[in-house]
């Protein structure tokens, strides 16, 4: 059952991201989808901080992938520029799905059929200039990921 919340600021989105990160486990993959400017990179930046990443987290739009060191490796993939994705491409991306890392994927739509079911899917959409709707949907059953707990822990 999806859980939905409206974030009214970047700070609220960051709090949701941090709460989400606290519930993730090594090997988890998180899909983030939504239009440009919906806050996907902002979310990943805050989640990475919660996972111990201290260096700047930016969108890897042109390189498609960035790896950060925190308490565990954090991979950030941005597949916006991919024009196609097939089984052979999945092999190229396999190193980013290590069992000791957490992987966040922006624009996962083309690659989704070739990637193991994610732990979490987050759909983000504009409500207005400063507000975003985040829809959390559990993927595969992992570690008792409780979507309501994510939202409740931030005081929403």
Mean pLDDT across 78-86: 80
pLDDT at 7 over 90: yes
Work out the mean pLDDT of the chain and round it to a whole number.
86
Summarize pLDDT for 132-150 with one digit per residue, the tens.
Answer: 999 998 876 555 556 666 6
The region that residue 11 occupies, defined by phi over 0 for left and psi between -120 and 50 for alpha, beta otherwise, is alpha
What length is written for the chain? 156
* Predicted pLDDT of residue 151: 67
Mean pLDDT across 110-130: 88
Q: DSSP assignment of the chain, as one string? A: --EEEEE-SHHHHHHHHHHHHHH--TT-EEEEE-STTSSHHHHHHHHHHHTT--S-----TTTSEEEEESSSEEEEEE-TT-S---HHHHHHHGGGG-TTSEEEEES-TTTGGGSPPPSEEEEEEESSSS-EEEEEEE-S--TT--HHHHHHTTT-
The region that residue 17 occupies, defined by phi over 0 for left and psi between -120 and 50 for alpha, beta otherwise, is alpha
pLDDT at 117 over 90: no
Summarize pLDDT for 34-80 with one digit per residue, the tens.
Answer: 999 999 999 999 999 999 999 999 887 667 889 999 999 999 999 88
Summarize pLDDT for 90-110 with one digit per residue, the tens.
Answer: 777 888 888 999 999 999 988
Residue-range domains of the chain with CATH: 3-152 (3.40.50.300)
* Predicted pLDDT of residue 12: 93
């Amino acid at each position: 059952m999806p859980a939905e919340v409206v974030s009214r600021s970047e700070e609220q989105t960051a709090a949701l991201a941090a709460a989400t990160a606290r519930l993730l486990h090594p090997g988890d993959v998180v899909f983030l989808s939504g239009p440009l400017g919906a806050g996907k990179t902002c979310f990943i930046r805050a989640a990475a901080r919660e996972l111990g990443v201290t260096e700047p987290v930016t969108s890897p739009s042109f390189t498609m992938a960035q790896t950060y060191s925190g308490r565990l490796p954090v991979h950030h993939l941005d597949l916006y520029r991919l024009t196609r994705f097939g089984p052979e491409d999945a092999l190229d991306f396999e190193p980013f799905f290590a069992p000791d890392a957490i992987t966040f994927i922006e624009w996962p739509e083309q690659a989704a059929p070739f990637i193991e079911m994610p732990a979490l899917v987050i759909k983000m959409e504009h409500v207005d200039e400063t507000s975003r709707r985040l829809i959390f949907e559990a993927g595969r059953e992992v570690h008792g990921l409780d979507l309501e707990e994510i939202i409740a822990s931030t005081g929403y």
